[in-house]
Amino acid sequence: MASPEIVSTNSEDETFALGERVAAALEPGTFVLLHGDLGAGKTAFVRGMAAGLGANPDDVSSPTFVLIQHYKGRTPLVHVDLYRIESGAAVDDLGLEELASGAVVAVEWAERLPRPVDGVSVTIDDLGNDARRITISVK
């Protein structure tokens, strides 16, 4: 993957397809760190990732009060959403290394992680209407 890679999408389906393509190239143990405002399309991207890893994308939802969800695929997908986390709260107890053993871990609101984590960073900017600019870089 060239880094950074900047892709424009114009629909939820296109963002899904990008997530699918990116995930298919990932090794187990990789973190995908998602950034972007509410409604940017982070969960849409993660749904695509599920498809790319051989899991059922329809199972992926925006977690309400569930912080971490696990999906079975060729490579398992762990979906973490830190939107509701209070700074300094339970984040320390997530057990990040453990989550990543044998799985790809997608983290929404990754800037709320307690410490920097290496991985693939995906930043989604809402350009209005259905246009999104998605910047993917390996850090």
Question: In whole angstroms, what separates CA 95 from the centre of its chain?
Answer: 17
CB 135 within 8 A of CB 122: yes
Residue 7 structure tokens: 């892709």
Q: How far is the CB of 42 from ligand ADP (least distance, A)?
A: 3
- Given Mg ion, ligand ADP, none, residue 40, with its beta carbon under 5 to 8 Å by kind, binds ligand ADP
Q: Does 39 bind ligand ADP (CB under 6 A)?
A: yes
- Binding segment toward ligand ADP, per CB under 6 A, in 7-15, 21-29, 71-79, 92-100: 7-15
List residues near ligand ADP by CB under 6 A.
9-12, 14-15, 36, 38-44, 62, 108, 130, 132
List residues near Mg ion by CB under 5 A.
42-43, 62, 108
